[in-house]
A and B are shown apart, each in its own frame.
Chain A
Amino acid sequence: MSGHAPLLAELRERIAHLDGSGVRVRPGLPFGVEAIDRHLPGGGLLRGALHEVSGAGEDFTYGAAAALFIAGVLARLDGPVLWCLRRRDLFAPGLANAGLDPDRVIYAEAGDAKNVLLAMEEGLRHAPLAGVVGEIDRIGLTASRRLNLAAEESGVLAFALKRGWRHGDVEREEPSAAHTRWRVGAMPSRALEVPGLGRALWRLELTRCRNGEAAQWLVEACDEQGRIALADVGAARSAPATPAPAPVAVPAELSDRPAARPSPIRRAAGGGAVRHRRA
């Protein structure tokens, strides 16, 4: 078995080369969560590539969790960030809660989708940026390829934050050249012993990953340094700031929930609703 490992690695590299995707095997930006980092090719989010992030279900309209997830990733990098908006509803103190320093973020209110893409591409051509984020409802194959190429050249981390613009919009899966596609959805958090809110829980779905497989994890939302953590007893121990919750069977219960939610059916129903409204 061990004798095959180098051969396999070489084959993978050759396939990646032919594929034109993972041309240079660059180390990714790790999440600091072993289970996720091990799963991702490159050991984390690939820099110099486009990643799609959207909210799950209702939150697709606002992408609040998705914005926080992206802010958490960028908080762990150095350098300025370009955040391209269509509408001014992003609240900077909320991003600061996830560790993204307001001094680092330049907002570009682009107005429409076309300008968001233009601004993103312009930003991606500037190496000194840590990251570029664009809030956009849909990103086609051509646009995502362009952004990916621009990112590849400069090594800037690019995020397409996909969100709807009308209440009740739902995500439609479209082909794109993005390296990974994430869906961040809120999950019921565990109860504290006293009334109040504990750390939020997310279901982090990796629905598409080039040279990798889809997966999902139950994670604790970004802390003030932008770090996520696996939501299990072990992760709770590694964050001593929060009192470790009693080791009840909650995580197991919760981790059952994602499977119980039939997401393909939900999407189909959403698509139907859109057609209906247009009719």
Chain B
Amino acid sequence: MPFVTAGRDGSRRILCAVDAAARKAGLHVGMPVAEAQALLPGLALIEAEPERDREMLDALAIEILRRTSPMVALDAPDGLWIDTTGCDHLFGGEAAMLADLRHCLHTAGYACRVALTGTTGAAHALARFGRSAVTIIPPGGEGVAVSALPLAALRLPEDTVAGLRRLGFDTIGQLATVPRAPLVRRFGMEVTRRLDQVSGAAAEPLDPIEPPDMPRVKLGFIEPIGTPEHLARAIADLADMLCVRLGEEGLGARRLDLVFARVDGRTEIIRAGTAAPNREPRHLVRLLIERLSTVDPGFGVETMTLSAPLAEPLDTRQIAAGFADAAGGDIALLVDTLANRLGAHRLYRAAPVESDLPERAVRTVAPLAPTLRAGWPAELPRPVRLFDPPEEVRTLAKMPDHPPRFFIWRGQRHDITHADGPERVFGEWWRREAETTAVRDYFAVEDEAGARFWLFRDGDGSDRETGSYRWFLHGLFT
């Protein structure tokens, strides 16, 4: 069912927002309500609430500030700009960062389109007019990426777009190739400015939001600073100040944003995360210094702002406790340092899952998660290396309960001298229909050289329903 909101533009009633179904039916933003109702009788109309939209956008911006990047600016009424410089490493790359962003928005109930580019103009255009819902443009590719987009993507006044159309311009690419002087004479500087903002020839600083209740400290410098030593010194001062702030409120930082404002108006960002709330200045300084080499101070840095967009309650008692009791602080520091370098998901502990299927018997938990004091059944021998997926091998075996005589794996024959098994593993029918009857028989075998392998036969060997009878190598013992 198409769904639209309607509002007033002077005396006319027009559509303010349309959903995908409505767009498909030919409705668009700005269309008079009467016309829309003529196209789609019985159209569901909701009164537009621009103030509430704005409030929701503000709230969303703060949420994204906590989650994705310290520099979020509004692109009202329906967009956000996010400066992700220095942030993607926490997610394990740009694509993973966008996936996380989309997931977070979808969970909150928003449909979204994202574009990651080197310029705000191109990001604005591609997010709204690009072909796919997720676009990532490598640096320098903005001009080409937007060339096929319509002029409306340029953030120009409506009458300018209409005027350009009359002259025969349809796409940004066409506009970018013509001489500029006549354009400026006719339409003013606006058109060329927008073109430059797309290609990156003109700077477009964002106006980032600043939530009032976020722990934040700032240092301004009379003389711009730029050497690593000076920056490191400033970071130490900022961390001390921030930890005092956090201590007053009984909080510990889970995420740190350090924004460097350069003299040329550009900003550089360091973002670091911690696995557990922390307000130990030494710890925070190390996490930030670690990434100082990614910062280009340009001709100097005028101000530095350190904030903790994500902070959680932390009382003094918790500072001493933690992983492995007395050693807590340093392990947390190690985990944070590595997580900031490799990505938080690359650091984990293994925890048991109650599943007979070996590939499901292990899940990963956060490195500093509480210890579980649980393991896998010790009497079941399990390999040290597990192949995922299992590798098919050719064998000669007697059915049903005998281990193979030999098997050929990657072109090499292994004659089996000793074997243990079968250990029967049943499919987990509550997970997948196909596993209802599935059975695997596992054998631990030793070849004539003493190497030990973990083989299984798909099926119980007497009933074809239970599997294909093919043999697989699932892991290596020694």
Contact = CB atoms under 8 A, between A and B. Distances in A.
B375 A96 contact: yes
Given A80-B323, A101-B375, A196-B420, A127 B384 contact: no
Contacts of B376: 92-93, 96
Contacts of B348: 106-107, 109
Contacts, number: 179
Interface residues of A, number: 60
Contact of B378 (A59, A96, A200): A96
Given A106-B347, A108-B338, A195 B419 contact: yes
A11 B476 CA distance: 46
Contacts of B159: none
Contacts of A93: 352, 358, 361-362, 375-376, 380, 382
B477 A94 contact: yes
B475 to A, nearest CB: 6
B128 interface: no
A195 B421 CA distance: 10
A128 B385 contact: no
A198 interface: yes
A79 interface: yes
A80 B331 contact: yes
Contacts of A198: 418
Given A91-B383, A91-B386, A106 B444 contact: no
Contact of A224 (B341, B378, B452, B478): B378
Contacts of B372: 102-103
Interface string B410-441: 10100001111000000000000000000000
B463 interface: no
Interface string B204-233: 000000000000000000000000000000
Contacts of B475: 91, 94
Contact of A186 (B330, B362, B418, B449): B449
A196 B418 contact: yes
Contacts of B21: none
Interface stretch (A43-51, A116-124, A268-276): A116-124
Given A186-B450, A195-B419, A97 B478 contact: no
A89 interface: yes
Interface in B323-352: 323-324, 326-327, 330-331, 333-335, 337-338, 341-342, 346-352
Contact of B476 (A62, A184, A221): A62
A59 B348 CA distance: 26
Contacts of B364: 107
A226 to B, nearest CB: 13
Interface stretch (A13-21, A64-72, A205-213, A237-245): A64-72
Nearest to A69: B478
B448 interface: yes
Contacts of B158: none
Interface in A59-88: 59, 62-65, 67-68, 71, 79-80, 82, 88
B44 to A, nearest CB: 49
Is chain B's interface secondary structure helix, strand, loop, or mixed overall? mixed
Interface in B364-410: 364, 367, 371-373, 375-376, 378, 380-388, 410
A229 interface: no
Nearest to B478: A65
Given A101-B375, A188-B450, A189-B450, A200 B477 contact: yes
A233 interface: no
A29 interface: no
A192 B475 CA distance: 23
Interface of B: 323-324, 326-327, 330-331, 333-335, 337-338, 341-342, 346-352, 358, 361-362, 364, 367, 371-373, 375-376, 378, 380-388, 410, 412, 417-420, 444-446, 448-452, 475-478
25 contacts: A58-B451, A63-B385, A64-B385, A80-B327, A82-B334, A89-B385, A94-B475, A96-B375, A96-B378, A101-B375, A102-B352, A105-B350, A109-B346, A111-B342, A111-B346, A128-B327, A186-B446, A186-B452, A187-B449, A188-B417, A192-B418, A196-B420, A197-B444, A197-B445, A197-B452
Given A91-B385, A93-B375, A201-B450, 12 more contacts: A59-B478, A89-B388, A91-B383, A95-B384, A106-B331, A107-B348, A109-B347, A122-B337, A186-B450, A187-B450, A197-B420, A200-B478
